[in-house]
Amino acid sequence: MTAISRITTQKKDRGRYNIFLDDGQGESYGFSVDEAVLVAYRLHKQMELDDATIQALIRQDTFHKHYTLAINFLSYRMRTKQEIRTYLDQKDVDEEQLDQIMDKLITEGLVDDRQFAESFVRTRQNTTNKGPKLVEQELRQKGVDAALASEAVSAYTFAGQYDTALKLALKKRSASHAKSFQQKIQQIQGTLMQKGFTSDVIQAITNELQNERDDDAEWEALIKQGEKLHRKHQQKYSGAELEQKVKEALYRKGFTLDLIQQFLDDSRAE
């Protein structure tokens, strides 16, 4: 029978211990264990161990090391089940132990996708300008079940979305002063869609901006665009053909025909 002949503390890790064994033919290094395993199995000098027990100790120590990896991974922030499984898989944890670790973490309440989703949504609401559709997509990418993700983003109220979307829309509008009103609206709608806001919120923002249309700003934007187009096309065209090219380009940019005609008439009169 093999017995423990000596137990020493590792120099680089005071929480781990080297176990030396003597099978009757002299002492040799056997294996190492974490302090938690040492205490749990009450390992001590002269304790006799058979081969099955030694293998069980090694497996338990491996499990403890991998479990500790998961705990450290969780110490930075909450994680989904999929994130932890992916992390441990990258650490070459075998499937059996990975399942055991996940069961232990879930039982201890350290991993809860519902709690994660609710917390994730609150954080996104408070720190970003993202709408519920984009946040739901992020949750799905992190492995949260579709039903849980959908339930979590229901915390986004219409009023909350509207306030965030309106701030984003006004910022976008002010950054594109040289564009036509229609172009601004289209860009704002595109931005709000990309940010994941719902269609009813986007429509409400559009209606709000329609009520704030600035005719003077529209005219100034048209002049700026029109003069630029005139300079561009006059190198190849002149007269009625030049006017037609400018007119078509301004119309594509979202300006109304009556304003375009007024610009052309004013340009012709100069």
Q: What is the CATH number of the domain that holds 255?
A: 1.10.10
Give residue 231's domain range: 216-269
Tokens of 102: 């996940």
Per-residue pLDDT of 41-61, as tens digits, reads: 999 999 999 999 999 999 999
Per-residue pLDDT of 57-92, as tens digits, reads: 999 999 999 999 999 999 999 999 999 999 999 999
Per-residue pLDDT of 157-193, as tens digits, reads: 999 999 999 999 988 887 766 787 888 888 999 999 9
Helical packing angle, 199-211 and 181-194, nearest 10°: 160
Mean pLDDT score across all residues of the chain: 89
CATH label of the domain that carries residue 98:
1.10.10.10
Residues 99 and 131 in one domain: no
Per-residue pLDDT of 139-162, as tens digits, reads: 999 999 999 999 999 999 999 999
What pTM was estimated for this model as a whole? 0.74
Do residues 37 and 49 lie in contact, with contact meaning Cβ atoms separated by under 8 Å? no
Residue with tokens 């300079």: 231
Domain membership of residue 62 (yes or no) is no
Give dist(CA 148, CA 103) in Å, integer.
19
Question: What average pLDDT score do residues 221-250 get?
Answer: 80
Question: What average pLDDT score do residues 220-230 get?
Answer: 78
Handedness of CA 189, 166, 176, 192 (dihedral sign): negative
* The length of the chain, given as a count of residues: 270
**pLDDT of 203 above 90:** yes
Give dist(CA 266, CA 231) in Å, integer.
16
Question: What average pLDDT score do residues 29-35 get?
Answer: 92
Give dist(CA 155, CA 165) in Å, integer.
16
Range 258-264 contact pairs with CB under 8 angstroms and sequence separation of 24 or more: 259/218, 259/219, 259/222, 260/222, 260/226, 263/222, 263/223, 263/226, 264/226
Give dist(CA 59, CA 257) in Å, integer.
79
pLDDT band at 245 (very low <50, low <70, confident <90, very high): confident
**pLDDT of 267 above 80:** no
Q: How many domains does the chain have?
A: 5
Residue with the bigger pLDDT between 255 and 270: it is: 255
Domain membership of residue 134 (yes or no) is yes
Domain membership of residue 56 (yes or no) is no
Residues 262 and 248 in one domain: yes
Domain membership of residue 259 (yes or no) is yes
C-alpha dist (Å) from residue 15 to 32, 38, 155: 11, 10, 44
Residues 220 and 209 in one domain: no
Residue 270 is which amino acid? Answer: E
Q: Last residue of some domain: 213, 231, 255?
A: 213
Residues 73 and 118 in one domain: no
Question: What average pLDDT score do residues 116-131 get?
Answer: 95
Residues 104 and 127 in one domain: no
pLDDT given for residue 213 in this prediction = 74
DSSP 28-97: EEEEEEEHHHHHHTT--TT-EE-HHHHHHHHHHHHHHHHHHHHHHHHTTS---HHHHHHHHHHTT--HHH
Least confident of 39-53, 106-120, 217-231: 217-231
Domain membership of residue 55 (yes or no) is no
Tokens of 146: 């579709």
Domain membership of residue 260 (yes or no) is yes
Domain membership of residue 54 (yes or no) is no
Residues 100 and 122 in one domain: no
pLDDT given for residue 269 in this prediction = 62
Domain membership of residue 129 (yes or no) is yes
